[in-house]
């Protein structure tokens, strides 16, 4: 049996998404509000990378595999200095 010709590309993309999700989640402050997991990112570039990378799909897949039924939302929450 041979693997599909496109399989290596799909495998590489999946690994990259999982890796990106883990690195980006290191920069998130998670909290649960009702039935929603809210990920707050203090840096705009990290929030944009989260939105653009497909990392949320990887997180949602991992949560589904762990039988965690929460919606996921990301927000940019800049740090406000108290001057």
pLDDT digits (tens, 9 = 90+) for 34-55: 999 999 999 999 999 999 988 9
Yes or no: say if 41 and 53 are a contact pair by the CB < 8 Å rule. Answer: no
Tell if the pTM clears 0.85, that is, is over it: no
Task: Give residue-wise pLDDT tens across range 60-69.
Answer: 988 998 899 9
Each domain of the chain, given as residue ranges in start order, spans 28-83
d(Cα 72, Cα 70) in Å, to the nearest integer? 6
Question: Is the dihedral angle over the CA atoms 22, 20, 60, 77 positive or is it negative?
Answer: positive
Give residue 19's pLDDT: 87
Q: Is pLDDT of 79 > 70?
A: no
Q: Which residue has the tokens 């990301």?
A: 74
Residues 6+ away with beta carbon under 8 Å from 52: none
């Amino acid at each position: 049996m041979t693997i599909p010709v496109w399989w290596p590309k799909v495998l590489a993309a999946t690994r990259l998404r999982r890796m990106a999700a883990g690195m980006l989640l290191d920069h998130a402050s998670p909290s649960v509000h009702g039935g929603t997991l809210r990920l707050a990112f203090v840096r705009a570039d990290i929030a944009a990378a989260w939105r653009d990378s497909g990392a949320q799909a990887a997180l949602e897949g991992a949560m589904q595999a762990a039988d965690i039924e929460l919606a996921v939302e990301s927000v940019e929450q800049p740090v406000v200095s108290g001057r």
